[in-house]
Amino acid sequence: MEARKINEFEAGIRVEGFFMIKTVDCKITNSNNKKYLDFVLCDKTGEISAKLWELSEGEEEQYKSNTIIKVRGSILSWQNNLQLKIEKLRNAEASDDVRVEEFVPTAPFQPEEMFQRIKNYIDNMINEDIKNIVGIIFEQNKDKLNYYPAAKKNHHAIRSGLLYHIMTMLKAGDKLCEVYDFLNKDLLFAGVILHDMAKLYEMEANDLGIVNEYTIEGQLLGHITQGIKNIELVAESIGADKEVTMLLQHMVLSHHYEPEYGSPVKPMIAEAEMLHYLDIIDARMYDIKKVTRDTKAGDFSERLWSLDNRRIYKPMLHQ
């Protein structure tokens, strides 16, 4: 019996361990009309389809999404995919001492730490209106920022991913302001903090940082428009300077750069131009690092949709 991670499974072995239930459905077999449970299980390393063919009375009600189970079973190959045939399972108990957070991919910093670092950037802002608008919006969203990812599937689609994305962009922006010193730091950092904030309202995420769907308003308006609305209300409420309000909204509006990616106008101030590149660099570096993590030197990674379906080569040189 082996305690492997999902990405180490192979056909023919038997396994035992704790996994998180991503989804679970009760279905009926075609051949003999019997009920069975159809799971998708995951850990930090990946996910796998799993079947429980023999149900005891009432067992179908016992297992829930986003909880941990202990499982024993064997790995089969079914139509070129691995599948886990469950022999035995039970819900995790307090005494097992497993935490659901350990089963979902998470940012490499604690939310509290990231929160504090971003706060420091806000505290150092000079322009009072910018500082207030950003400060208010940041505080309003503190709770959700703890666990929200930055996307449903692409870059930073991990627990606390949005916070991590903001913090890394702030670091990189700070560095580049040393080279391009005519940039206004207040504006640039405000743009970084606000640019994706309305993703908290565009997507519905649970506290594991998993997005199940987009909200209705998210679909009808999108996070760029939602973000602008929010800035409007906050700026109005504090009687902020009109130009400041407009510049912050312009940065949010233009940060996707191309109309077909959702920005009806292109950046027309230096800080909006830089914001766009900070965003895309951080996304690309995240994706490249992630997709090559398990690639051997001298090989190509798998294709990644968010990298225009490219495969990334890992040089021998890097060894």
Contact between 100 and its own copies per CB under 8 A: no
The answer to the question of residue 1 lying near its own copies (CB under 8 A) is no
**225 near its own copies (CB under 8 A):** yes
d(CA 186, CA 164): 20
Rule CB under 8 A: is residue 300 a binding residue for its own copies? yes
Residue span binding its own copies (CB under 8 A) among the ranges 115-123, 153-161, 202-210, 253-261: 253-261
Say how far apart CA 205 and CA 255 lie, in whole Å.
Answer: 23
Contact 19, 39 (CB under 8 A): no
153 to 172, contacts with its own copies by CB under 8 A? 168, 171-172
**Which residue number, 94 or 216, has a Cβ lying nearer to its own copies?**
216
Q: Does 238 bind its own copies (CB under 8 A)?
A: no
Binding mask 120-139 for its own copies (x = CB under 8 A): -------x------------
- What DSSP line would sit under 119-185, residue for residue? HHHHHT---HHHHHHHHHHHHHTHHHHTT--S-SSSTT-SBTHHHHHHHHHHHHHHHHHHHSTTS-H
Tokens describing residue 150:
């930055």
Counting contacts by CB under 8 A, is residue 176 touching its own copies?
yes
Task: In whole angstroms, give the CA distance from residue 262 to residue 198.
Answer: 14
CA distance 199 to 151: 8
Q: With binding defined as CB under 8 A, does residue 220 bind its own copies?
A: yes
Query: Please, what is the minimum distance in Å from the beta carbon of residue 269 to its own copies?
Result: 5
- Helix pair 161-179, 270-291: axis angle to 10 deg: 120
**By the rule CB under 8 A, 305 interacts with its own copies:** no
Number of residues this chain uses to bind its own copies (CB under 8 A): 78
315 is a contact residue toward its own copies (CB under 8 A): yes
Verify binding: residue 40, its own copies, rule CB under 8 A: no
Nearer to its own copies, 162 or 190 (CB): 190
Closest CA to 150 of 100, 103, 221, 203: 203
Nearer to its own copies, 10 or 57 (CB): 10
Question: With CB under 8 A as the contact rule, which of the stretches 63-71, 136-144, 200-208, 287-295 interacts with its own copies?
Answer: 287-295
Contact residue for its own copies among 13, 100, 238, 265 (CB under 8 A): 265
Amino acid at the residue 26: C
Q: Which is nearer to its own copies, 65 or 127 (CB)?
A: 127
Least distance (Å) from its own copies to the CB of residue 131?
13
Number of C-alpha atoms within 13 angstroms, CB side, residue 179?
5
- Is residue 289 involved in binding its own copies (CB under 8 A)? yes
155: left (phi over 0), alpha (psi -120 to 50) or beta: beta
> Largest alpha-carbon pair distance within the chain?
73
